[in-house]
Amino acid sequence: MSEKFKAVVIGGGPGGYVCAIRLAQLGLKTACIDSRGSLGGTCLNVGCIPSKSLLNLSEEFHKVKNLSSKGIEVGEVKLNLNKMMKNKDKAVMILTKGVEFLLKKNKVSYFKGVGSFKTKNEISIKNKEKKEIIISADKVIIATGSVPVSLPGIEFDEKIILSSTGALKIEQVPKKMVVVGGGYIGLEMGSVWSRLGAEVHVVEFLENITPGMDLEISQEFMKILKKQGIKFHMGHKVQTIQKKTSGAIVKTIDKEGKKNDFDCDVVLVSVGRKPNTNGLNLENVGVELDEKKRIKTDKNFKTNQDNIYAIGDVIIGPMLAHKAEDEGIAVAENIVGQSGHVNYNTIPGVVYTNPEVASIGKTEEQLKEMEIDYKKGKFSFMANSRAKAIDDADGFVKILADAKTDKVLGAHLIGPHAGELIAEIGIAMEFGASSEDIARTCHAHPTFSEAVKEAALSVDKRAIHS
């Protein structure tokens, strides 16, 4: 007899494990299946967490090397890459074990292995030794995430041609690195290796980095990264990557048809990720996919099959850990008859470079396209006393508000701690606040958050410090 559960979650990433915990909190006997051998999914194992560890450590390294101009003399600063990687691995280990503890604490049964549908209510789990067990469930939630895509005909070897996973464990700082794609991964991992000493070239198909981001921010972002030494080759399409005995040649063609070859030690291909439905045997149960091979769901995350749901990177929407988590909570609440809900207009996006870039709501380009009249407030960190005091004043805050009602429609930040500052605007937007509400809120001095208040004041052209 197979063990019977009220709910089974396939995938133990931020979508899946959060969903399993919430289901258990709501009183359902729940199981969570993950094939990786370590919980936390892409995010904790090969995504958010290891990349943020390396971003932080490489930034510290870079900062210490440049302290003498600020009156702090240090001896020779040397990189111990092996130790840095061990620190990253330790952070991953602690956090993934932490998730395992949380599942146990909430009495979620954790199964290690590949989950696939035998029937709509029966899931086969095959472990590494190919041993199979079958469990059954009233409700099944698919949270199998996403995997990196490569370019046609180009395979990741994770030594010379790297996906983000390989870029997180390079053993020696490369002399020259080519990054294909100027999106989230390319710019974060490019920053890491540039700070550690590599010459980094970003080859991007479009004319601007981080497509979809507010244009003014994207342009400022590229300007700042260029100042830091990253080289950009915009409007370049990669045709092929030729491997050599050591290194590779990235062959590109630009908009004018001019061919450019980039010789390098390693290539990071970061041109996006695709939904992961491998091995699920969806054909067995007739779960429908959309044109981009994402699992199709309704607004309650239900697939075309009554008892099967899907959340996170495997469905439509931004591929972000917090989006997956919020969907995990919402679907669990919907399953027990509550009104789980995700507000897709207030999902922040953050690039954890230095400076950080953070975005929420509509961009100026979107508002123009939607023909919505808006007012814009902008305040530079150059005029923020805290940023000036610590000599970290690149960037600005921009707030977009409805021209008639003053309701905040979007905010776009580039600057110190932008990823933390965006939370204030997220709350304001959730409460339907106006820019005036932010402007009238007392912000501590001297803080970076005063730049948010000043940007809000600037919506009505009454900023004090500019």
Residues 313-332 that bind ligand NAD (CB under 6 A): 318-320
Find the helix packing angle between 81-105 and 48-65, rounded to 10°.
140
In the list ligand FAD, ligand NAD, none, the entry touching 206 (Cβ below 5 to 8 angstroms by class) is ligand NAD
Question: Which residue in this structure is represented by tokens 């701690």?
Answer: 417
Of the candidate spans 114-122, 271-279, 302-310, 324-332, the one that interacts with ligand NAD by CB under 6 A turns out to be 271-279
181 binds ligand FAD (CB under 6 A): no
182 binds ligand NAD (CB under 6 A): yes
Q: Which of 272/446 has CB closer to ligand NAD?
A: 272
Here's the x/- map for ligand FAD, 95-134, by CB under 6 A: it reads as -------------------xxx------------------
- The runs of H, that is alpha helices, within 112-180 are 164-167
Q: How far apart are CA 466 and CA 449, in angstroms?
A: 15
205 binds ligand NAD (CB under 6 A): yes
CA 440 centroid distance within chain: 32
- To the nearest whole angstrom, how small is the minimum distance from the Cβ of residue 172 to ligand NAD? 23
Query: CB under 8 Å to 237, separation ≥6 — which residues?
Result: 205, 252, 253, 254
Out of 186, 340, 355, 426, the residue judged to bind ligand NAD by CB under 6 A? 186
Question: Which residue pairs from 431-438 have beta carbons closer than 8 angstroms and sit at least 24 positions apart in sequence?
Answer: 432/407, 433/407, 433/408, 434/401, 434/405, 434/406, 434/407, 434/408, 435/375, 435/377, 435/399, 435/401, 435/406, 435/408, 435/459, 435/460, 436/406, 436/460, 438/399, 438/408
CA atoms within 13 A on the CB side of 178: 28
CA atoms within 13 A on the CB side of 50: 26
SS3 256: coil
Is there a catalytic annotation at residue 233?
no
Out of 145, 182, 355, 410, the residue judged to bind ligand FAD by CB under 6 A? 145
- To the nearest whole angstrom, how small is the minimum distance from the Cβ of residue 206 to ligand NAD? 5
Q: How far apart are CA 273 and CA 254, in angstroms?
A: 24
Q: How far apart are CA 111 and CA 128, in angstroms?
A: 12
In the list ligand FAD, ligand NAD, none, the entry touching 33 (Cβ below 5 to 8 angstroms by class) is ligand FAD
- To the nearest whole angstrom, how small is the minimum distance from the Cβ of residue 263 to ligand FAD? 25
Q: Which of 28/49 has CB closer to ligand FAD?
A: 49
Residues 21-50 that bind ligand FAD (CB under 6 A): 33-36, 41-43, 47-48
For residues 99 and 12, the answer to whether their CB atoms sit within 8 Å is: yes
Here's the x/- map for ligand FAD, 346-385, by CB under 6 A: it reads as ------x---------------------------------
- To the nearest whole angstrom, how small is the minimum distance from the Cβ of residue 286 to ligand NAD? 29
Q: Which of 204/450 has CB closer to ligand FAD?
A: 204
Chain residue whose CB lies nearest ligand NAD: 183
Q: How far apart are CA 183 and CA 211, in angstroms?
A: 7
Q: Which of 110/205 has CB closer to ligand NAD?
A: 205
- To the nearest whole angstrom, how small is the minimum distance from the Cβ of residue 53 to ligand FAD? 11
Q: How far apart are CA 173 and CA 168, in angstroms?
A: 11
- For the chain, how many helices (H) and strands (E)? 14, 22
Q: How far apart are CA 309 and CA 19, in angstroms?
A: 11
Of the candidate spans 71-79, 104-112, 267-275, 327-335, the one that interacts with ligand NAD by CB under 6 A turns out to be 267-275
What six digits make up the tokens of 253? 């063609």
* R_g of the chain, CA atoms, integer Å: 24
Here's the x/- map for ligand NAD, 207-246, by CB under 6 A: it reads as ----x-------------------------xx--------
Under the rule (CB under 6 A), what is the footprint of ligand FAD? 10-16, 33-36, 41-43, 47-48, 51, 114-116, 143-146, 164, 185, 276, 279-280, 312-313, 319-322, 324, 352
Under the rule (CB under 6 A), what is the footprint of ligand NAD? 151, 180-186, 188, 203-206, 211, 237-238, 270-273, 318-320, 350-352
Active site residues: 445
